[in-house]
Amino acid sequence: MAAVQQLEPMPMLARPQSMNGSSSFSKDVEMDTATTPPAQATVPLCSEPQRGDTRIVVIMYGVGEENIVGVFAEVLGKPSRLKTCFGDVTQEDQDWVIGLAAESAMSDIATRDRGLVVSINAHCTGLGMPPDIYLSAQCDYEFLYTKAPFFRRDLARFTSHILGQICHHPALITKPRTFIISTTFPDVHAALPNIDILTVGADAIEIRVDLLKEPLADGTFSEIPSLSYVGEQVMLLRQRTELPIILTTRCTKENGRFPMDNPGLYYDYLYRALQWGVEYIDVELWLPEAIRSKLFEQRGNSRIMSAFHDFSGTFKWTSERAESIFRESQRYADCVKMIAIINDHNENFELEYFRSKIKSTFPDSVPLSAVNMGETGQFSRTLNKFFTPITHPLLPIIAAPGQMSAAEINQALALLGQLPRKNMYGITSPAMRRGTPQAPFYEKCFNELGLPHQFAVVEWQPKGSGCIGAWCNQKSFGGAYFNPAVSFKSLAAHSSFLASLNNGTGPTVSEAARLIGTVDTIVVRPSSSSAPASEPASMPSSPPRHKNGESFSTLGPAQSGLPPNTSLVLDNASWKGILSTLTRDLAPSAYFGCAAVVLASSAEDAASALFALKALKVGKVYTVGFKTPPAFGKDLLIEPFTSLESIQRARTVGANGAAAASAGSSPFLVVSALGPEKSTLVGMLVRLFASRGAAAAAASGGFRKVFLDLADRAGSRKGDPGVIAEQSGFAAYGAADVTAFTTVETLRLLVGQNVPYSFVRLASGRTLF
């Protein structure tokens, strides 16, 4: 038994032309339907990739910077070519990324066909700041970058966002609780060394532009930071964090430093932030309607947070005015923020009444983030659920009186009985347990987040004290992950407790876990609201005692059973880990329609990767070593390699059956789930699918194909297919990347908290930066 780990007439940003939704996955899984549990689609925590804006991407580049065009093209998965001016770009360039020298693009950028092209001014800050002001004003978007180091991840994120391929907002508004870290640095450089730890628990990061201090040559600071300085600061921040950025220009009347005599100034900064691809801009309600509506119209794939602060001390949540402020705010916003100074603790309850009234009066309205300031208002900061602004001890100052950290809010919630202590488990096999000392990592996360939960690594046994029922069927069960993942059929077969759920039909299983066939996470959820609280559909009110589940876990007795108002969802987080790894340095469109090879010794080993490839709308999958479950065949074109001839054909034929688009060998992506003992075979196939020679690479626009190795190769790099892949011109990713991204997803599922990928890597002993 495992030991317990105790834890305490301005230019317009055109809207995307097409925003096609992705088709949902088939539910037709190859399994015994009699034992198929009810499927419940889980809330998407990271929205699935979309096709987004399909206009021709035109990159304007500075002197000597034409290489950036190829990098954009590679990130988007398209070839590139250079032209002279916008007038030269035609429908025939649809599948290309076009580069125009900034100098010559100026001639006709103002008269470009905005329905045909999306124009991006790519400016290397090393060439001097600001970029050409005419191009900045005229372009749709502006990408500021540094050459050394160059952050491809930043470029992938920028393009995925502006083209609408990845959008965070839908997932954020459905997450039960979200936090925004309000940074207050005069210079973002100071934040960078601690950014991983600063952002633990945050779902978005706010840059307070009015608090930035731009040094001047005479040793003083400019009254307000220039656009040029702000641009570089935003670039720096985005290079180092995956979090959506909220850009704020807080005015002097609302506890900020931006002067109020010229509202046009706010427009200039906020519009430029949209061009920089910032995910959210904070637009104060006092700004003239013309400015607010214009920004709303021009926001493209960014989102607007309307902001209202009242420091007078006379604001009343119960007043008519409060409601009319909300009504006005939501007109030009995707979310509304209302914040006031109060004098009496009871006003926190008035705010709660206001919150519920808004919900019932405007049921379809945008989400509201509303808190009170000062110590008296702190209670409201624990009750607000959407985008609660937080601070961190490592920040130089708090952004507003009474601000609390994520840890303080969680501790307060725990004290108030709103965040009860739960027992969480890492359920593992003896072999994996030795290899992955996960308990200290979870301990670190829970500590950092001020969560009261306890965590233990335990070993799964089909019967007795190590059986699933022993861990799950307890009052304070808070969820578990499995490492390695287990087949849910075998889970259900071995656990009379799981089989008894949902009135004997078995546990609820997410769509991903159902299709993939394996479970790596058990999530505890409140029962669906449709079920009466006293009579939950999923759980008998007094759980039956199971002959092999009556045991004590290492975290306490299991006798009390799951509370009646909760249900268990069996889920799979690993496919999201694969998806995040593949889209870290490339936009999703790099994979749309491409051909991939998946190597595995069983369908079970390949399934998470196949699910991720479906989400990425891959065109064709060649398989080696396993038989694909029929359900995957519905949305993916699958072809098993049966002979050398079939491999040879795949090397020369594109995903759609036409001759491969480039002289390089199709397919574009190779994913291997084969163990270290099959390294030689994997290495051989990787070589086979490498782009053939410099000429081929040049013809394919210098494309780097992608290799993902899902095998854990603990230490030994001998015969490592990842190394062979890199030598053969692939961008290679390994199990450590997938594990870290999967852990991020697991933490979101288990404790609803966002822990950055870089923190996970850091905590496991490796830094990425």
Ligand X SMILES: O=C1C[C@@](O)(C(=O)O)C[C@@H](O)[C@@H]1O
CB 413 within 8 A of CB 381: no
CA distances 697 to 40, 431, 700, Å, are 45, 42, 5
Q: Which is nearer to ligand X, 70 or 256 (CB)?
A: 256
Q: Does 738 bind ligand X (CB under 6 A)?
A: no
Q: Is 191 helix (H, G, I), strand (E, B) or coil?
A: helix
CB 699 within 8 A of CB 691: no
Sheet holding 404-405, edge to edge: 368-373, 335-341, 303-310, 280-284, 245-248, 204-208, 179-183, 388-391, 404-405
Give CA angle at 497 (494, 499), nearest 5°.
70
CB of 747 to ligand X, least distance (A): 24
Q: Judged by CB under 6 A, which of 307, 562, 590, 615 binds ligand X?
A: 307
Q: Does 494 bind ligand X (CB under 6 A)?
A: no
Return the structure tokens found at 275. 């061009």
CB of 470 to ligand X, least distance (A): 44
CA distance 665 to 667: 6
Q: Judged by CB under 6 A, which of 50, 178, 182, 679 binds ligand X?
A: 182
CB of 160 to ligand X, least distance (A): 26
Q: Judged by CB under 6 A, which of 243, 340, 400, 573 binds ligand X?
A: 400
Q: Which is nearer to ligand X, 372 or 411 (CB)?
A: 372
Number of residues that bind ligand X (CB under 6 A): 14
Q: Which is nearer to ligand X, 335 or 573 (CB)?
A: 335
Question: 80 φ, ψ to 5°?
Answer: -130, 155
Q: Which is nearer to ligand X, 250 or 748 (CB)?
A: 250
CA distance 275 to 141: 4
Q: Which is nearer to ligand X, 169 or 433 (CB)?
A: 169
CB of 249 to ligand X, least distance (A): 10
Strands (DSSP E) along 591-729, which ranges? 595-599, 620-624, 637-640, 669-672, 705-709
Q: Which is nearer to ligand X, 251 or 624 (CB)?
A: 251
Which amino acid is residue 762, in one-letter code? L
CB 98 within 8 A of CB 82: yes
Q: Does 746 bind ligand X (CB under 6 A)?
A: no
Residue with tokens 């904070």: 282
In the 8-state DSSP scheme, what is residue 106?
A: T
Residue with tokens 């059973």: 561
Q: Which residues of 174-187 are buried (b: 16+ CB within 10 A; e: fewer)?
A: ebebbbbbbbbbbb
In the 8-state DSSP scheme, what is residue 654?
A: -
Q: Which is nearer to ligand X, 306 or 742 (CB)?
A: 306
Q: Judged by CB under 6 A, which of 337, 392, 433, 713 binds ligand X?
A: 337
Q: Does 724 bind ligand X (CB under 6 A)?
A: no
CB of 248 to ligand X, least distance (A): 5
Q: Which stretch binds ligand X (CB under 6 A): 120-128, 396-404, 575-583, 722-730?
A: 396-404
Give residue number: closest CB to ligand X. 400
Return the structure tokens found at 645. 């001839």
Q: Is 527 helix (H, G, I), strand (E, B) or coil?
A: coil
Q: Does 450 bind ligand X (CB under 6 A)?
A: no
CB of 144 to ligand X, least distance (A): 23
- Rg value, the chain, Cα: 27
Q: Judged by CB under 6 A, which of 132, 206, 408, 635 binds ligand X?
A: 206
CA distance 132 to 721: 46
CA distance 657 to 660: 8
Q: Does 204 bind ligand X (CB under 6 A)?
A: no
Q: Does 230 bind ligand X (CB under 6 A)?
A: no
Q: Which is nearer to ligand X, 329 or 403 (CB)?
A: 403
Q: Does 310 bind ligand X (CB under 6 A)?
A: no
Q: Does 208 bind ligand X (CB under 6 A)?
A: yes
Q: Which is nearer to ligand X, 307 or 368 (CB)?
A: 307
> If we measure between CA atoms, which residue out of 687, 686, 690, 685 comes closest to residue 700?
690
Q: Which is nearer to ligand X, 208 or 576 (CB)?
A: 208
Q: Which stretch binds ligand X (CB under 6 A): 39-47, 71-79, 399-407, 606-614?
A: 399-407
Q: Does 339 bind ligand X (CB under 6 A)?
A: yes
Q: Which is nearer to ligand X, 256 or 734 (CB)?
A: 256
What helix, strand, coil percent values describe the chain, rounded to 5?
A: 40, 20, 40
> If we measure between CA atoms, which residue out of 286, 266, 270, 300 comes closest to residue 338?
286
Q: Does 392 bind ligand X (CB under 6 A)?
A: no
CA distances 645 to 625, 650, 655, 698, Å, are 16, 9, 16, 26
CB of 245 to ligand X, least distance (A): 13
Q: Which is nearer to ligand X, 295 or 373 (CB)?
A: 373
Q: Does 399 bind ligand X (CB under 6 A)?
A: yes
> If we measure between CA atoms, which residue out of 358, 303, 71, 27 comes closest to residue 178?
303
Q: Which is nearer to ligand X, 282 or 347 (CB)?
A: 282
Other C-beta atoms closer than 10 Å to the C-beta of 210 total 18
Looking at residues 638 to 657 of the shown chain, list those that interact with ligand X (rule: CB under 6 A).
Answer: none
3-state secondary structure 573-618: CHHHHHHHHHCCCCCHHHCCCCEEEEECCCHHHHHHHHHHHHHCCC
Q: Is 684 helix (H, G, I), strand (E, B) or coil?
A: helix
> If we measure between CA atoms, which residue out of 77, 67, 98, 80 comes closest to residue 701?
80
Site string for ligand X, 254-293 (x = CB under 6 A): ----------------------------x-----------
Q: Which stretch binds ligand X (CB under 6 A): 397-405, 466-474, 556-564, 720-728?
A: 397-405
Q: Which is nearer to ligand X, 36 or 255 (CB)?
A: 255
Return the structure tokens found at 191. 């934040």
Q: Which is nearer to ligand X, 29 or 409 (CB)?
A: 409
Q: Is 763 helix (H, G, I), strand (E, B) or coil?
A: helix
Q: Does 403 bind ligand X (CB under 6 A)?
A: yes
Q: Does 348 bind ligand X (CB under 6 A)?
A: no
Return the structure tokens found at 600. 């595995």
Q: Judged by CB under 6 A, which of 201, 389, 563, 702 binds ligand X?
A: 389
Q: Does 373 bind ligand X (CB under 6 A)?
A: yes
Q: Does 478 bind ligand X (CB under 6 A)?
A: no
CB of 282 to ligand X, least distance (A): 6
Q: Which is nearer to ligand X, 366 or 516 (CB)?
A: 366
Q: Which stretch binds ligand X (CB under 6 A): 398-406, 435-443, 563-571, 634-642?
A: 398-406
CB of 6 to ligand X, least distance (A): 33
CB 207 within 8 A of CB 182: no
Q: Which is nearer to ligand X, 116 or 398 (CB)?
A: 398
CB of 413 to ligand X, least distance (A): 17
Q: Judged by CB under 6 A, which of 248, 423, 473, 608 binds ligand X?
A: 248
CB of 369 to ligand X, least distance (A): 8
Q: Which stretch binds ligand X (CB under 6 A): 46-54, 395-403, 496-504, 692-700?
A: 395-403
CA distances 16 to 13, 57, 138, 363, 593, Å, are 9, 12, 17, 28, 20
Q: Does 378 bind ligand X (CB under 6 A)?
A: no
CB of 351 to ligand X, least distance (A): 13
Q: Which is nearer to ligand X, 249 or 551 (CB)?
A: 249
> Which residues of the shown chain bind ligand X in the complex (CB under 6 A)?
182, 206, 208, 248, 250, 282, 307, 337, 339, 373, 389, 399-400, 403
